């Protein structure tokens, strides 16, 4: 039953009330039907919405892209053990070869091409830090490729907030997410 689902919604009792909602970074279509009505209603009634990051801000996207890169002059081949680097390279060649068969007719109808999608996800992979390459590889599956073009829940809610002319903001800066991940040593990654 919809009203029995765990809503991941906390209410901060004040006037007017504030809400805290836990999201997940997956295409919103995978979870939207399971988000209880009380959470959707709280969102609809809100005037101000804050997100983890402002995924609608071009600076945020640019900063996220930049933080993933190795220091100038370094390449992934320089920091990964040779056998892992070659396995990774072969795997990415396999994904690039398979990607056209993983795409949906709907994606093709929207003008998405496999080469474009591969480059959007894996472009410049040889310059990325190992932790970001690991996250990238984890998202290069058939299921994830089929859902590309559908915004993740956070982005969907941010786009809805903008469409509904709600005031929006972010509680974190890119650096607050980036530096801890970049601080992991190789064995941790």
**Is-contact 122 136, C-beta < 8 A?**
yes
Task: Name the percent of the chain lying above pLDDT 70.
Answer: 96
Mean pLDDT of all residues in the chain? 90
**Is-contact 127 69, C-beta < 8 A?**
yes
Residue 22's pLDDT band, with cuts at 50, 70 and 90, is confident
Per-residue pLDDT of 84-115, as tens digits, reads 999 999 999 999 999 999 999 998 888 888 99
**Is-contact 98 142, C-beta < 8 A?**
yes
Q: Which helix (H) or strand (E) holds 126?
A: none
pLDDT, residue 5, reads 59
pLDDT, residue 78, reads 94
C-alpha distances in Å from residue 143, one per residue of 73, 146, 148, 154: 35, 5, 9, 19
Assessment of whether the complete model's pTM goes beyond 0.85: no
Average pLDDT over residues 125-138: 94
């Amino acid at each position: 039953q919809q009203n029995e689902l765990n809503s991941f919604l906390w209410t901060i009792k004040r006037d007017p009330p504030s809400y805290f909602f836990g999201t997940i970074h997956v295409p919103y279509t995978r979870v939207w039907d399971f988000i209880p009505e009380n959470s959707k209603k709280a969102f609809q009634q809100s005037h101000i919405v804050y997100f983890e990051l402002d995924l609608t801000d071009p600076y945020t996207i640019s900063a996220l892209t930049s933080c993933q890169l190795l220091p100038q002059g370094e390449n992934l081949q320089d920091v990964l053990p040779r056998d892992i680097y070659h396995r990774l390279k072969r795997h990415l060649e396999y994904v690039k070869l398979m990607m056209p068969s993983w795409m949906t007719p709907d994606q093709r109808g929207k003008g998405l091409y496999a080469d474009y999608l591969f480059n959007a996800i894996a472009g410049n992979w040889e310059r990325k830090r190992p932790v970001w390459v690991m996250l990238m590889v984890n998202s290069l599956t058939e299921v994830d490729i089929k859902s590309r073009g559908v915004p993740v829940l956070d982005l969907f809610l941010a786009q809805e907030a903008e469409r509904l002319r709600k005031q929006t903001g972010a509680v974190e800066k890119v650096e607050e997410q980036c530096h801890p991940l970049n601080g992991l040593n190789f064995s941790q990654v």
